Structure 1
Amino acid sequence: MSLPRIAVDAMGGDEGVRVMVSGAALARRRHDQFKFLLVGDEARIKAALENHPNMRNASEILHCEDVVGGHEKPTQALRRAKKTSMGLAIEAVKHGDAGAAVSAGNTGALMAMSKLALRTMPGIDRPALAALMPTLEEHDVIMLDLGANTECDARNLVQFAIMGAAYARIVTGRDKPRVRLLNIGTEETKGTGELQEAAQRLRDATGLALSFEGYVEADKINRGNIEVVVTDGFSGNIALKAIEGSARFVTDLLKDAFRSSLRSKIGFLISRPATELLRHHLDPNNHNGAVFLGLNGVVVKSHGSANAAGVANAVAVAARLLEENLTERITADLAELGEIRLRENGSGGAAK
């Protein structure tokens, strides 16, 4: 299948052009149908392409020298949106010059620019940032929102659940992904009024392409018995950082333990296959590529510190969402929710 090309903000991220171009080249070696619009300083991009002959006939360069700073406020970045590599990558999606955009730059600026240029889909009030996280099972778990919206009402959470489930059907292949709301307990009486209202709406909406299974506590997110965790951006970002920090804490403890004595070093050599498997499973580069769901276009956020393999994974996420028509899936699910509301209010009646 021929895919639309992917616009890559080549200037974003901690290491910029070198890693972004290397990641795109690695993605193309894995999937030779990928094509790119590389946005950034032309001289630097051309220099980076010298090391990747497989990209010569698969990429076009859009010259731009201006870059969004890592600590720049979104309001400041918006004023220069159409002059920056990040903004021009998003504009390429808006005008149909690319099917998706990938950037490792400033998250807040990327969200602001994407929302302004692409607008939210009909039926979606706010876009959400969704990411894949490892679990004990074979499939990852999708969690949203992870920071785009610090405060959310019940309607937002229901929309996040629908978008997350559409994404999960692509990633896991399940017809009705299991969805839970992040809460401080699993009892129906726990949580804020917004959480309880969202839970009730999801229980009542039985025709949706998802299986709502109530609440989940933060310590169960990575067990692997659910596909989607829904929360507001404030709680989601805290939970994500806590999980990532715990993973680094455990791996650092293991390193220190294995270095503590000769006996420990021998033990490390014996257990190395298992520790390498653990390291691979917890490596954030292997799960890289957060998605802004709910926009009229595909925008993927790569972690700023991602290496070439991480960038390649982010590119692969963008390509898969294009191939599997994510936006069309969400539109169909929102239409189904509208039909459910109509039935609840009487045939032909106005949905409340």
Structure 2
Amino acid sequence: MPAIDVNHPLRVALAGFGQAGRCHAETWATMPGAIITGVYSLRPDVEATDIANVCGPHVPVYSDYERMLAESGCDFVSICTLHDTHAAEAIAAAKHGKHFIVEKPICLTPEDLLAVRRAVDSSGVRAFVGFQEFHYGQLQATIEAVDKGWLGRVHLAEIDYYNGIGPWVPQHWWARTRKIGRSSMLFCGCHPLMMLMLVMKGVKVAEVEAFATKTAAPDFADFEYPTTQVNLIRFADGRLGKVTSCLDSLNPYYWRNTLIGSEGTLIDTKIMSRVMLPGLDTKGWQQLATRSINDAGTVTPDMFRPMFERILANLRHDEPMPYSGFNAAFEMHRVLFACDEAARTGRPVSLP
């Protein structure tokens, strides 16, 4: 499918107006070169006024997703609905010839992952996955430090996600269910696993092993699946990774990176490198002065703008799409489903 005409604005439709959907809407509404042409709402009677305030009073609000695709005149869809509908809505967008971004996860089953893959491939649309965290601040700096060779060849990467998704979190009512939240990895662990895949720069995964448990704290008793999962990942070239997804930690949102390479080490925002810059102390830490990922517990529209700017550049000028491309996210989901199988069966899982 050809790139979007640069002489016309990108016509964006939005599916869902929850926390992520509102951030998408507020960002697209202020993006030069984009206009919002329709919004699909799960609760149009409740959300119509709020949608009008963000998107404009002229923007139609639909209670039917297919009708929005057919009537809104959109080129592009931001899919920000509940997780159990992502796959069907992504497939429908592709069949209508609409480019799209789907908030993570893409889907909840391996079968749906393949179905979305087929729909994207057969339609020729451009698909993106909403990993906005990697387009700014600490995590972008971490990925680019690896890309620049400051750590040399990274042979061990440990990415840990700690959060407390209790009743005080707005998403708790659905995140706790097996139907929509499904697993610790699908609800939150997809973030650190994607980070691991990015710092390992596309190296294939050979085998995974995983273990799951849950807290005794009554705050998280409503969860229908194990809330903590630790995943051990062996890459095809022998490198190792560990990903922790913990939804039941009693602390503010905390993300921890530990990368060990042949030329240096990076832990959170501290880096020591033998090759980074001449004149630096190669036996002491340097501090990366950058926006910490640990302010991401509250999601705000400014976190999405760099990703959306890259999406526009990709659609209009065929520029590369780092960090949020569909192919990279597809591979991450394959590994994620293998990790969940390993945790469920108690046996290592090899990836074909």
Higher helix content, 1 or 2: 1
* Structure number with higher relative contact order (C-alpha < 8 Å, ≥ 6 residues apart): 1
Q: Select the structure of larger CA radius of gyration.
A: 1
Q: TM-score, normalised by structure 1?
A: 0.37
